[in-house]
Amino acid sequence: MDKLSITGGVRLAGDIRASGAKNAALPILAGTLLASTPVRVSNVPHLRDVTTTFELLGKMGVRVTMDERMGIEVDPRPIHDLCAPYELVKTMRASILVLGPLLSRYGEARVSLPGGCAIGARPVDIHVAGLRQMGAEIDVEKGDIVARCKRLRGATVVMETVTVTGTENLLMAATLANGRTVLKNAAREPEVLDLANFLIAMGARIEGAGTDTIVIDGVAQLEGVDYAVLPDRIETGTYLVAGAMTGGRVRVREARPTDLEAVLEKLEASGAQVTTGEDWVEVDGGGRRPRAVSLTTAPHPGFPTDMQAQFTALNAIAEGTGVIEETIFENRFMHVLELQRMGADIRIDGNKATVHGKAFLTAAPVMATDLRASASLVLAGLVARGDTLVDRIYHVDRGYEQIEEKLAHLGARISRVPG
């Protein structure tokens, strides 16, 4: 298994480009199944989860072609297999996103139940309940969700928990349903809005995406379009934290600062100077050690859970004490155990981690457990004394395009060690 070797102590400086958002590309690629004609998607990040999605679509018989600029063309017309098998779903839970489109466009779907993962049980009961309300017959057979429905009908669905992919699955299903669907307590993440904009471009009738109530009037069919995925706000936030932690100056171009307000607020609270433009954002740590910040994760526009691990790492070397409260997932402190191996002083009490900042961390061999935990270990390696070796970095490759190239461009001493 590949590892990343990072020699700490460099103050990062420079600017990099944000890649397309993984968590928008995945639902949009699933949404291509709804189209009656080929769809082109650009600004798709070159990530493990994206290639897994291509594999899944290809297995269904969908034609996926890529041009040299990572422009993707998806032609769903040759589809012949309405199934997402366990061997693919177990590597990427977001495969569940094909359920709504398959059911709505083709009237049936067999999708392996995604198991839990390192950060929590992550059930899909809200996805299933909403589709049942829209008239689907859904059973679980040998670990697969088996769903059938001649044609879904519009319904008013109140989701008991704010769920990003749950909202996305039901949003996609509703575009071809018969009548009006109202999704209440909908997720407001920018990636949900990007998916809605993609569906609207294909001819869907959607109002209110980006708010907690989305109204969809079903149409007969959707036509392929050419759509560019929005920039990745979590990737952007991760590199900005790297700038703040190393006391450096990092600018991320082709980004969307408005998607990151809660994160930028916390970066300012840590003492970094934040400046933004139309499509860029810059953090200047001013050569100083960051100040500790306290935060509580929440659905958008609250502080994103996907940035929690990165701020835990920042607090590990900050001045003072910060309390990190995780309210979305029940087990999203796996990175703490690894940071402690590097000397971090962190105490976990339920869903709260109290972090007493240390003047320095010490490099150690550490192991990635999930995508954002692995990012926090890379960040810790950037400031630790010595050479940190991060193992199981296939987790990193799921969500960070060219991470070592981007960090090296900013001056980091980082290399990939073939495992």
Instruction: List residues binding ligand EPZ (CB under 6 A).
Output: 23, 26, 94, 120, 122-127, 161, 163-166, 305-306, 328-329, 371-372, 399
φ and ψ at 363, to 5 degrees?
A: -55, 145
Min dist CB 197 to ligand EPZ, Å, is 16
* CB closer to ligand EPZ, 249 vs 335: 335
Residues 6+ apart with CB under 8 A from 112: 84, 85, 86, 88, 89, 90, 95, 143, 144, 145
Min dist CB 377 to ligand EPZ, Å, is 14
Which residue among 117, 158, 200, 201 is the active-site one? Answer: 117
Classify each residue of 205-231 as buried b or exposed e, where b means 16 or more C-beta atoms within 10 Å of its C-beta. ebeebbeeebbbebeeebebbebebbb
Min dist CB 324 to ligand EPZ, Å, is 15
Min dist CB 247 to ligand EPZ, Å, is 26
* CB closer to ligand EPZ, 285 vs 374: 374
- Measured in whole angstroms, the distance separating CA 235 from the mean position of its chain's CA atoms is 9
Residues 6+ apart with CB under 8 A from 108: 82, 102, 147, 148, 149
Min dist CB 369 to ligand EPZ, Å, is 12
> Residue 361 in contact with residue 317, Cβ under 8 Å?
yes
* CB closer to ligand EPZ, 85 vs 120: 120
- DSSP letters for 325-365: E--S-TT--HHHHHHHHTT-EEEEETTEEEEE--S--B--E
Min dist CB 46 to ligand EPZ, Å, is 16
Going by the DSSP 8-state scheme, the letter that residue 370 receives in this structure is: S
Parallel, antiparallel or unpaired: strands 321-325 and 352-356: antiparallel
* CB closer to ligand EPZ, 136 vs 384: 136
* CB closer to ligand EPZ, 125 vs 279: 125
Q: Return d(Cα 76, Cα 286) in angstroms, integer.
A: 51
Min dist CB 168 to ligand EPZ, Å, is 7
Cis upstream peptide for 38 (omega within 30°): no
* CB closer to ligand EPZ, 112 vs 343: 112
| Residue 117 annotated to the active site | yes
> Residue 158 in contact with residue 184, Cβ under 8 Å?
yes
Residue 305 structure tokens: 């859970």
Q: Return d(Cα 123, Cα 264) in angstroms, integer.
A: 31
* CB closer to ligand EPZ, 381 vs 399: 399
- Residues with catalytic roles: 117
